Every structure is written in C-alpha cells, then in structure tokens.
Amino acid sequence: MSADDNLLLRIRGVAKRFDSVVALRSADLEVRAGEVHALMGANGAGKSTLVKIITGVFPADAGEIALSGKASVFRSPAEARKAGIVSVYQDPAIVPDLTVAQNMRLARVPLDAVKAAMRDLGIDHIDLSRTARDIDFALLRLIDLSRAIASNPSILLLDEITAALPVDLSERVFALVREWRRSGRSVIFISHRMAEVAALCDRATVLRDGITVGVTPTAGAESRIVDMMLGTDVARAAAEAPARRASAAVADRPAAIEVRDLAYGHALRGVSFRVAPGEVLGVAALEGQGQEELFDCIAGVRRASSGEIRTHGEVLRLRHPADAIRAGLVLVPANRLQALLQQRSIRENVALAAFGRLRAWGPIAMDEEKRRVDDAVRRLQIDTRASPELRRLSGGNQQKVVIARWLASGFRTLLCFDPTRGIDIGTKRQIYALLREIAAQGASVLLFTSELPEIRLACDRAIVLFGGRISGAMDAGEADEARLLHAAHGLSAPDAVEAHP
Ligand SMILES: Nc1ncnc2c1ncn2[C@@H]1O[C@H](COP(=O)(O)OP(=O)(O)OP(=O)(O)O)[C@@H](O)[C@H]1O
C-alpha cells in the first residue's frame, strides 16, 4: 500500500482573511492514518487558524479539505466531531463558573468516557463537582484533552497542549499520543518545543506567513525545520544565544529581593533565597511544588503565613498586588487570559500599568506614555497587523503584550511565571535576550519556567522546588536537565545521574 492510500486528511490551498489580516494564504497539509503530524510555524504563522478551519469553527475563504478522499466541509466543531475530528484548542474550551461535570454535559460527551480518559491520563483524582475556575490551568488542559478523547476521534488536533504542562504531565500526554498512533489513529500536534516534536512526531508541515513552506520527516530535521519556520536570516540571528553575563560574584551584592523562611500553608515551607540586582534567578519545579504560591506571595496576590520578603533591605508588607507593584515587584503570569483585557486594544493593554503609575505621579503624560508603549511593542516585535483588538492577536503575540506592559511601565524586579509558554523559538530567544538586557540594566528577575533547558539559556543561577521546599540550588552552568530533574523529584544526588547516563 502506498503512503497515499493511507491518506486520512488532505488539505489544499486553504486561505483565510480576517478583514485586513491575511491569516492563511495557501495552506497544504496531508495527514496519514496512524501518524503523529507536527504543524510548525512561528507565532502568527496561521497554525491555530488552520486548526479552527479544519474543525469548523469558521469557514475557509478558499481551498479544499478531504477526509478519507471525500471532500468535507464542517460548519461547526460538533459536525467535525461526528466525522471523527476533534481539537483541543489553545485556550481550554471550558466555562470557568461551571463544574467539570457541567462542562462535559455542555459539550455533550458521555461522562463515563471522560472519566476513563482521565484515568488514562492519571488525573482521575479530580473531583468532577469542582468548579473549573478553582482548578489549576495545567489540569484544566488535561480535562479538556479528556473531553476530546472521550469522543474517540480518528484525528485528534492538539494545539500547544504541552505549553502549560510541567514535564511529568507532558509525559502522560506523549504516552497517550503514542498509544493513539499504535491503534492506527492520527494526531496533529502543534508545539513550539522542538525537542518534543522531534521525539514524538513522524513528519512535520511548516507554515510561514500563512503558506505551507515544507513537509519533512522530523527525525534529525530540527534545524531545517527552524530554518523553514523563520526563514534562513532570522533563524541565524535566533541561533545566537543571548550572551550571559560573566557571573561576576553576583551573590555578594546586597539583595534586590530576599525571601526568608517563607511559608504558605503546607504548600511552601521555609523557603529562603536572594536575588541580586542584575541577576536572573531561575526556579524549576514539577507541577504543584509551591511555585505558584511562591510567586503569588511575592507579587502580593496571596499572603504568606510566615516569613519575610525584603527588597533592598526593607521588609515589605504585601496585602495586595498594588503593594508589590509600589515596591517595584511586578508579575508576568502564565495565564495571559488573567492578565489581559480581551476587548481592549493592544495599546490599551500595554499602557494599562503605566497609566495607573503615571496618574499617581501627576497629570497623565500622554506623549511619554505613547513613546513607552511604542517602544515596548517594537522591542517585542508584537504583530499589530490585527490592531486594534487584542483578542485578534495570535496566542504568542498576546503573551508578548503582557511582558510589553511592564517594559513600558518600569519595575525593579520582574517576576516571570512561565513567560515563554506558547512562544515560538525565535521570540523565545528575544525574550531571553530581553531578560538579560533588563538584568544588565540593574533590575532583577525571578523566572519560573516549565521548560528546563530555558534555565541555562536565561538565568545566572537556579533553585529547584520540591514539596514546597528548596531541593536544589546551582549556577546556571551546572543546571542541565538531568540535574534539575533530579532535584525536582526531590533526589539530592545529581552525580548519580551522571554516573548512569
Ligand atoms: N479572529 C481573528 N481576527 C483577526 N485576526 C486574527 C484572528 N485570529 C487570528 N488572527 C490573525 O491571524 C494570524 C494568524 O494567527 P494564528 O493564531 O493562526 O497564528 P499561530 O500560528 O497559531 O500563532 P501562535 O503560535 O502565536 O499561537 C495572526 O496575524 C493573527 O493576529
């Protein structure tokens, strides 16, 4: 049987325009039965738009879609589901104020099948009568995935499913995808993490500026894929890792931020560390080891049960995020939906923080605000073609808006919680370079990342959390994945890992 006989989905010349924005010019995609197929492309390349066209969220302006050789146009996700195509979209399709069970009923999927899928993913401990709003974002995505699996599709589309997931939960998704392939079904997998694409996917289709620019087996093709995604010139610039400052006895300087014996219920216990001015301190941890509580306490979102937080020697009383912002501590949260006003313009969203601050200082300096906002938008290369509405930006570009906001307003310490979630490899490098630049100008950065290789690229030092305590501390040069993972599992003998590669 030839590969063509095995073709499940064939897409030719799909185009889509939103007013003046051309999201897709001519997208081609062929997915075989029993294949895990990566859909790659930089932020804004058109991946999510293609996923939404395939699953009937909106119609294409042009092009053909054929399923098992038969021309197929779906007018809604429900129609696509009936034909065996189901997607887990980038933002969970879950109503926050309903319980998990109510959400599943809303999606018309049988609860028993959802429970079975949750069991397969190892998340059956979640009480289905809990309100979705109270459930961690990473777990919500897995619940959304369980919903998708429950209808047993022949093609599963996963749009950046692992972007919010820590290593251990990502592994469960990979196991499921492999099982899916073994049973002859197909997965279309979108991710900005090249390592997982190379490990998991059979072939990749690459989109650039809305056009399919190549199809390749993934094995050994990582750098070729990056070249295709970014265009060769940009890829070359992106490959130059940001220069890490020579570690000039940073730890000896007075701390920009010092955390002493911090506790928050059982989630955080006796956590102490310092970040010097000009330093980027990385925080690594598996899911739910106290990292969210740590960032929330420092950002004034939650009140610590005991312990102290100081900036430049002064003990802070943080009762509200505004207290932290006044002390120069600002948070870039992982969940951009929390941080952004979807109905407002990009400009308003970037100006949000600066606006409050400038107003506190006196008359609003509109020119100054405009200059700062323009500068931040330019530095982060935010794609403003779809201006003025923020909600029309691609996921990665929305994430950049959150960072741009604080760039425009100024701060002394940037608390970044997984800031490069869902961001393409070129932009990621820009963000690391930006964090380094911010540090070089004297600010300090505390960076939690669920992507362990980022620690070495962006940080000077790293601490690792396990069970609410610090289970490891090391210089970035030593923070390879094996060492970090070891500490993240509460194992204190990284040398043992090296001894058994
Ligand atoms: N509903 C919409 N209205 C207007 N423009 C849109 C809409 N949805 C997407 N776009 C625009 O279409 C282009 C492609 O966006 P899309 O979300 O498909 O990119 P992507 O490849 O998924 O990016 P990312 O990796 O950042 O998620 C972007 O310029 C985006 O701003």
Query: Who's near 498: CB < 8 A, 6+ residues apart?
Result: 482
- At 465 the pLDDT is 94
Average pLDDT over residues 250-279: 87
Mutate to test the pocket of ligand 1, among 16, 20, 25, 48 (most ligand atoms within 8 A of CB): 48
- At 495 the pLDDT is 46
pLDDT band with cut points at 50, 70 and 90 for residue 387: low
Average pLDDT over residues 66-82: 93
At residue 89, the 3 state secondary structure works out as coil
- At 2 the pLDDT is 55
Give yes or no for residue 392 CB within 6 A of ligand 1: yes
- At 411 the pLDDT is 82
CA of 24 to the centre of ligand 1 (A): 9
- At 247 the pLDDT is 46
- At 176 the pLDDT is 93
Q: Which residue has the higher pLDDT, 86 or 376?
A: 86
Give yes or no for residue 185 CB within 6 A of ligand 1: no
Average pLDDT over residues 115-139: 91
Nearest CA to ligand 1 atom 1: 392
Nearest to 165 by CA among 286, 47, 8: 286
Nearest CA to ligand 1 atom 19: 44
Closest ligand 1 atom to 90 CA: 27
CA of 395 to the centre of ligand 1 (A): 7
Give yes or no for residue 51 CB within 6 A of ligand 1: no
Residues 106-143 as b or e (16 or more Cβ within 10 Å = b):
ebebeeebbbebbebbebeebebeeebeebebbbbbbb
How far apart are alpha carbons 497 and 501 in whole angstroms?
6
CA of 46 to the centre of ligand 1 (A): 6
Least reliable range by pLDDT among 97-111, 134-148, 372-386: 372-386
Give yes or no for residue 54 CB within 6 A of ligand 1: no
Residues 374-384 as b or e (16 or more Cβ within 10 Å = b):
eebbebbebbe
Give yes or no for residue 210 CB within 6 A of ligand 1: no
Model pTM?
A: 0.69
- At 16 the pLDDT is 97
User: How does the average pLDDT of the chain come out, rounded?
Assistant: 84
